[in-house]
Amino acid sequence: MFNIMAEKRKKIRPFFTAAVLIALLVFLFMGRGLFGPAATIHELLTENRQLKKAITNLTVEDQIGYAKVIDQDSQNGRLYTTIKFVETARNDSSKTVLEKEYTIQGDIIHFDALIVKFGDQIVMDGRRKALYLWRRVYSENIAPEDGLLIEDTNSEPQRYADLFKLLPKTEKDMFWTAIWQLANDPDGLKEYGIEAVYGNVVYSRLKPGYIYFFKISPSGQLYPFVVPDI
């Protein structure tokens, strides 16, 4: 009797093993279809057509934000400036996508942006395009690394949310994380068709009664444009 049962188990075992393997393959296949293939950053930047299309659709920008003083006074013999910083939308400088207030010691305020320039390897129409990412704000009394954040590092800036909306969240997160990190990887820039990632800092002595617009030149240089606050 024992030998008969043992013989049956030997016959069943291969079928059971095969069934487990088939079930595992089906799970992996369905999982790949459900969640999408796990792309690497290399695949994302070199092969993803939706990403290339989004970058190709970038337009030449002029104004990317502005700042104005909402309070300026002395405390214990030190001057403090409170500013409202506004980031404006792509293609519509009258629309606000980010607004923050900062109180900073001093009146000479520095604004730090990250410029990302794409070459024709990644841009489908062959024309160079660029992203402009705000990093931080600080004064002459604050070290740059201690500056106050404007954009959250590694996250997607609101000004580009509509442009990259067709990308799955995992791929968007991967893209923005890579962009922030590639600034310190010259070899990676060349491999992925990114011409340059560099910081651009502008500063000015801020006074109440003026609006300090931030504009971008065709070459990617950031500069302030000051007008009276009527």
Please indicate whether residue 81 or residue 7 has the higher confidence score (pLDDT). 81
Lowest-pLDDT choice from 26-35, 50-59, 135-144, 147-156: 26-35
Tokens, residue 72 = 């300026």
Task: Tell me what pLDDT residue 227 has.
Answer: 95
Task: Tell me what pLDDT residue 208 has.
Answer: 96
Strand partners, 151: none
Q: What is the mean pLDDT of the chain?
A: 79
Tokens, residue 210 = 């003026």
Per-residue model confidence as pLDDT tens digits over 158-180: 888 888 888 888 888 888 888 87
Return the top range by mean pLDDT from 58-62, 138-142, 165-169, 221-225: 138-142
Task: Tell me what pLDDT residue 30 has.
Answer: 40
- 206: Cβ–Cβ under 8 A, 6 or more apart, which residues? 67, 69, 72, 81, 83, 107, 108, 109, 212
Q: What is the pTM of this model?
A: 0.74
Strand partners, 212: 67, 226
- Residue of 157, 136, 45, 137 lying closest to 90 (CA atoms): 157
Q: Residue with structure tokens 């922030």?
A: 180
* Burial degree of 145 (CB within 10 A; 0-12, 13-18, 19+): exposed
Residue 20 clears pLDDT 90, i.e. is over it: no
- 109: Cβ–Cβ under 8 A, 6 or more apart, which residues? 67, 81, 83, 137, 138, 139, 203, 204, 206
Tokens, residue 29 = 């296949």
Rounded mean pLDDT, 98-103: 96
The kind and range of the H/E element at 140 are none
Residue 111 clears pLDDT 90, i.e. is over it: yes
Please indicate whether residue 190 or residue 212 has the higher confidence score (pLDDT). 212
Per-residue model confidence as pLDDT tens digits over 1-11: 444 444 545 55
What are the backbone angles phi and psi of residue 108, rounded to the nearest 5°? -95, 105
Return the top range by mean pLDDT from 43-57, 67-81, 89-103: 67-81
Rounded mean pLDDT, 204-222: 89
| Helix/strand/coil for 21 | helix
Strand partners, 114: 133, 199
| Helix/strand/coil for 58 | coil
